[in-house]
Amino acid sequence: MDFLAGEMLLFDKPLNWTSFDVVRKIRFLLKHHLGVKKIKVGHAGTLDPLASGLVIVCTGKATKRIDEYQGMVKEYVADIRFGATTPTYDLESEPDELFPYNQITEEKLAEAMNQFTGEIDQTPPIFSAIKVQGKKAYDLARKGETVELKSRRITIYEMKVTAFNMPVITVKVKCSKGTYIRSLAFDMGKALNSGAHLAGLRRTRIGEYSVDDATTVMEFEKLF
């Protein structure tokens, strides 16, 4: 493989790593292996530290295609826990409010999910990397400052329940660039007169690329 000329690599990001952790490790390995001081390495779409799964990493001139990969349809498998909300909309923070969830049936869930299929307006979580007046929203939120984010138009192409074990359900979601699955979980809780947060997330596809074809960072390191 010609990493300097440009390669596109598929990685299965582990839990508790940031997407940039993957990029930083791959850049270090390539610089050491190739004996160069500098090499372009970038990822095509952030995954939260508490999410695992497919991350596309580009090297060299292939980094010019990052926008193309970012625009592809994403597929996720998400665990959504009803009965509680958290400030970050996931397990990164403790529950801040509890709600009943016994009223949620498979039928009511199916009805609510119809609201979130197709083109919808979604408000990102305030604990996100979106810039507000030049500063990241999560930095402002952690300081206790009021953060207001504008909703954005996204598309949920498909959402299917694969497991219903209340208070946790598992859904497979196909969606457009810019979709926050954490926000989807939070909004579904509200729609069902309960609260909800993301309890687990794995990205399984980006466009035609599958996590089944990805390698781990540790496996990649062994190549050298």
Show which residues are catalytic: 48
3-state secondary structure of 211: helix
What CA–CA distance (Å, rounded) separates 37 from 118? Answer: 46
Q: Is residue 26 within a helix (H) or strand (E), and if so which, with residue range?
A: helix 19-34
Phi/psi for 148 (5° steps) reads -120, 120
Examine residue 14 and say whether the peptide bond preceding it is cis (omega within 30 degrees of 0): no
Residue type, 44: A
Q: Give the pair of three-digit tokens for residue 46.
A: 């952030």
User: Contact at 8 Å (CB) between 80 and 89?
Assistant: no
